[in-house]
Amino acid sequence: MGHKKRALLAEDHPGTVEVMQIELQVLGYDVIVAQDGHEAIEKALAESPDFIVMDMIMPKMDGFEAAGRIRENPKTKDIPILAATPLARPGDREKCLEHGCDGYIAKPFTHRQLGAAISKLFEARN
């Protein structure tokens, strides 16, 4: 039996953290939480998660900069990043992908949409 995959959830809104943490656990993942971009980078380095769910709008450092810095570091550059964001205007998905994210999901999303987006992250890597 393999180890449970670990998700790093980078999200600053406590209510959203609570809901997404439960959803990720129901999907079978262990969850590590970061409250902002700086913490997301630190935890990506320290914890080596299997993937990251990154809110793009956070205080201190946003998800765009954090994703870019995670991509620049040899230790974290291959960790798949899913942008989970309220940014849903034309071009927002492309902007997330340009900044180093591997996938994109617009908030609010359903449990099923989250599971499908995470599955797609891993399919793209194989």
Quick: pLDDT tens for 18-38: 999 999 999 999 999 999 999
Say which CATH number the domain at 51 has: 3.40.50.2300
What value does the mean pLDDT take over residues 4-19? 96
Residue 3's Cα: distance from chain center in Å? 20
Q: What are 35-71's pLDDT values in tens digits?
A: 999 999 999 999 999 999 999 999 999 999 999 999 9
Structural domain span for residue 34: 6-125
Domain membership flag for residue 35: yes
Flag whether pLDDT at 3 surpasses 80: no
Domain membership flag for residue 1: no
pTM over 0.75: yes
Flag whether pLDDT at 1 surpasses 50: no
Any residues with CB less than 8 A from the CB of 16 and at least 6 apart, and which? 55, 107
Flag whether pLDDT at 125 surpasses 90: no
Domains: count for the chain = 1
Output the 3-class SS for the chain: CCCCCEEEEECCCHHHHHHHHHHHHHCCCEEEEECCHHHHHHHHHHHCCCEEEECCCCCCCCHHHHHHHHHHCCCCCCCCEEEEECCCCCCHHHHHHHCCCCEEEECCCCHHHHHHHHHHHHHHHC
10 pairs with which residues across the strands? 34, 54
- 18 vs 21: CA distance, rounded Å: 5
Domain membership flag for residue 54: yes
